Amino acid sequence: MRTKRVAIRNHQAESQLFFRRAVTSIVLVGLIFLILLINLYRLQVTSFKEFQTRSNSNRIMVLPVAPNRGLIMDRHGELLAENTPVYSLEVIPEEIPTLRATLEEVVELLNLPEELVDQFFNSLRQSRRFPQIPFTDNLTEQQVARFSVNQHRYPGISVEARLQRHYPHAELFTHAIGYVGRINRKDVERLRENDSYANYAATRTIGKLGIERYYEDTLHGQVGYQTVEVNNRGRVVRTLEFNPPKPGHDIYLELDLELQRLAYEQLEGRRGAIIMLDAQTGGVLAFTSAPSYDPNWFVSGISSARYRSLLENPDNPLINRATQGRYPPASTIKPHLGLLGLVDGIVTRETRVWDPGWFEIEGVERRFRDWRTYGHGWVNIDKAIIESCNTYYYDLALKLGIDRISEFMSKMGFGERTGIDIHEENSALLPSRDWKRGRYGEAWYAGETVSVGIGQSYWTVTPMQLATTTQLLATNGRKYVPRLLRATNHEQGIVFNPIQERPALEINNPRHWATIQSAMAQVITNIHGTAHNSFKDASYTAASKTGTAQVAELSVDADDNRIKNEDVAERLRDNATYIGFAPVEQPEIIIAIAIENVGGGGRNAAPIARVLMDSYFSSLRENNAPRSFINSQEEQLPAAAPGTAHTEVTDANN
């Protein structure tokens, strides 16, 4: 039997194999370390600056800082728009996985309106660039405390303190000052068109109406920036550098708080507007439209229910009646038409017209009635203005013709914007032959000219137009652009807004101004004047003209008398209009009033003018100084227009 040979291990071969493997491993490890060293060198040396920049971009952020909005004050320095601190709930949507559910939980925690959630998602869709989006403003101290205790449950939501626009007088100045509101897409487009987008990098609100919008560039200021260090959650750890924003400029308005409040009180429960101007500068002392609304509702976003209540309100509080309200001027334009009749030689001061209580156009069956059923008898231009005789102006308008009326009234400023420093203004309507042909494709009729003669037919005006054209009558043809801005507080001090005067209305005989001014003064001084009862014991001289604007054509009864206003629906009653100035010798103030559906005509507006004039002149006597917020820096006003009406008024009173 053969024995099996057992192989003896080759230790030399094994040693060589082990050596080769060890060398290979060491080489591989060496190569790996070499690669690591090379990469480390690239990171630490070659690409150091690049990666340091990337690191800093994650650790350091440059944040815009919103400027404080400029304050708005009246002519005496009383605050009309200010900035107040508020607490707001801010949300970073990217940090909240279940956004809607979380917000609904916060609403329940803080007892907030449920509609805030839907409003937030609307804002989220319109958001421009903010990482934080406001959920709600004006948190109470109790709500802040309650959320602070529970804040650990809501990462991505925080309470922030900031300044918010506030209007301390609520609805009193809404239609003059306007309001600010959250920036929307239309605002962004407008800012980009004006190359102002970068300046609003941190701003959340912008002027929407009135002074706030018109002087947005002045009030907003310049954006600032701060360089901050943040942690991995994006929270600010410390501020590295701060470049403060430049706050907006404070502005002073021509408005007088007390006159504005008084005017608004006079319109309480009514629909209408009151304008009060400085006769020698065009400064707007009172600018009232009623009814109004609280502009603070819009600052942080108005609720849909509240906004719907404004839209559906039959009194239309959103309309700025002072510059957008369109009213038939009625008899308030009789002084203007009387001036045209004198200028064109159609009538003189001695020309008389017989008024039996009606007027007829030859060949036309319809009678145009005077407000006094039995008429005024023989009437000249003085009596026609004093007693507001319609028949005289029916006759005058027919003799003038619509072409001459349209041309002259356009020169006075009807049918065009006055240029006041707010955007919310329309031109109303001054009818003409060409306008009717273009609008209706029809010819102009003589009967329409007759109606224009008493401020009816298609003719409409804004209360601001009435005020500026009355100023023209009071100052012998001088034309001022009405202005709300009085002065701006710049770094170098208070800079007054220059008076803007347009080319004066030149007429062929300056004495015609005195004739019209005298007649308007006798509207008060003459016992038959339509404003006599309202001003008979005034301590100053004044000139006036009242008007009754017919809203709907009312039928007549069996005795040929017009049905009384109190017997018809409120919305069908006559409007009341009024124009006036004082003192007659050297006018200081102009007043224009329009009140809707009060019935009784302009006699209902004259007492309001008396209250405002009394307040103005009593304040002058008490202060023995011009109504200015700072007398030492009062601007140099131009000399008053010569008072050519003084002698005429004195003679008439005698």
Residue 289, φ and ψ in degrees, nearest 5 = -130, 130
**331 is annotated as an active-site residue:** yes
Contact 303, 115 (CB under 8 A): yes
**Residues ≥6 apart with Cβ < 8 Å to 623:** none
Q: What is the Cα–Cα distance from 48 to 51, expressed in whole angstroms? A: 5
Please give the full DSSP string across 485-543, using - where no structure is assigned.
EEEEEETTEEEEPPP-EEPP---S-THHHHHHHHHHHHHHHSTTSTTHHHHTT-SS--E
Pick the catalytic residue from 289, 331, 432, 615: 331
Q: What is the Cα–Cα distance from 122 to 302, expressed in whole angstroms? A: 13
Report the C-alpha dihedral over residues 292, 266, 325, 613, rounded to 10 degrees: -130
**Residues ≥6 apart with Cβ < 8 Å to 381:** 338, 341, 342, 347, 349, 351, 392, 515, 519
Q: What is the Cα–Cα distance from 367 to 355, expressed in whole angstroms? A: 13
The two tokens of residue 133 are 């989006």
Instruction: Tell me how many helices (H) and strands (E) the chain has.
Output: 23, 25
Q: What is the Cα–Cα distance from 445 to 451, expressed in whole angstroms? A: 10
Q: What is the Cα–Cα distance from 487 to 484, expressed in whole angstroms? A: 9
Q: What is the Cα–Cα distance from 631 to 635, expressed in whole angstroms? A: 9
Q: Which residues are catalytic?
A: 331
